[in-house]
Structure 1
């Protein structure tokens, strides 16, 4: 399994001309605002504050590139579906993400984050459908798994699968930034995407 020995923030970008120029594989992380993306990043790379964790949802407003093990980029996309962001800004984010996801040659796949405690939203379904339509491999991750008892988790995962129309055998990685649960499984998935 992949071990992350080094991870560093490289740059933020709004347009393709701002993206890093290196031709190395990239894996993007996407999800609703407040789904725990920054905390997951920090848990995966074993650093407390590589990605800035904010109490205020919708803080990530650029595409952020992190160089991992000097060999690939983990890419943090702006959270979607946050109500307090003006519609004009939302439209800009949508265009920025669609440009990155649709045109970036180095992109190998997307990790789609959902909060295990909540039913997927229309935004989540739209994002998954868009990724599938554009033939981008997706790893579905249910975050904040430590907030639900192990006995209740299968019920919550079944709801997610039903709402997203996933096949029963589709694996969902249960992940906790607090306990590290799911870290090895997710890193294995990321490694598989990079090596494809």
Structure 2
């Protein structure tokens, strides 16, 4: 699949700025920021790599909970900052670590002036879960713009995809800060990358 204009925009050098485990470590750059959020193993890092056109930008793993801090990337000539957030809902992580991640996420989402949008990734095979609803509630309360992104579309039949997309569209109803358009993606075959 050839890259569209938006995908070409993000296929510039991605420079890893650093990982942040504490609010005091947040970069001070005042360029627009977009964050990728979602449950563990939803495909955040894979989608970032597909957008970048480089499989080494964000570390991927079959093991849930691999991303354990806010990972900041600067795109091109400091035109955009992209944040790969820790996956939420990873049941096997120690409770103290989960509490620490949740605290960091809340502080980041509520106090980041340059944050323009959070892309909340939802695995289409499983739909929205309770912890997805928790993050959308947190984003609504913080008045942070966000958008639902369905991932792993290539793993579903056409009929399953249509139902999953309809379910995600229905889930946006009543979500105050949610963008009304849902984007369906596949990191494997490039579907939806230009829309992201």
Tell me if TM exceeds 0.5.
Answer: yes
Q: Does 1:183 align with 2:190?
A: no
Which position in structure 2 is the counterpart of 1:103? 111
Q: Distance in 1 between matches of 2:174 and 2:157?
A: 23
Is the contact made by 2:147 and 2:180 (CA closer than 8 Å) also made in structure 1? Answer: no
How far residue 166 of structure 1 moved from its aligned partner, in angstroms, is: 5.6
Q: Distance in 1 between matches of 2:70 and 2:29?
A: 16
Pick from 99, 114, 117: which aligns with 1:91?
A: 99
Pick from 21, 27, 30: which aligns with 2:34?
A: 27
Q: Distance in 1 between matches of 2:181 and 2:172?
A: 13
Stretches of structure 2 lacking an aligned partner (at least 5 in a row): none
Aligned length: 185
Q: What is the correspondence of 1:62-73 to structure 2 with a 5 Å cutoff?
A: 62-69=69-76, 70-73=78-81
How far residue 165 of structure 1 moved from its aligned partner, in angstroms, is: 4.3
Is the contact made by 1:120 and 1:164 (CA closer than 8 Å) also made in structure 2? Answer: no
Indicate how the Cα distance of structure 1 residues 71 and 179 shifts in structure 2: closer, same or farther if over 3 A, else same. Answer: same
Q: Distance in 1 between matches of 2:172 and 2:65?
A: 23
Stretches of structure 1 lacking an aligned partner (at least 5 in a row): 187-196
How far residue 162 of structure 1 moved from its aligned partner, in angstroms, is: 4.0
How far residue 71 of structure 1 moved from its aligned partner, in angstroms, is: 1.2
Is the contact made by 1:11 and 1:64 (CA closer than 8 Å) also made in structure 2? Answer: yes
Matched residue of 2:148: which SS? strand
Which position in structure 2 is the counterpart of 1:59? 66
How far residue 164 of structure 1 moved from its aligned partner, in angstroms, is: 5.7
* RMSD between aligned residues: 1.7
TM-score computed with the length of structure 2 as normaliser: 0.89
TM-score computed with the length of structure 1 as normaliser: 0.89
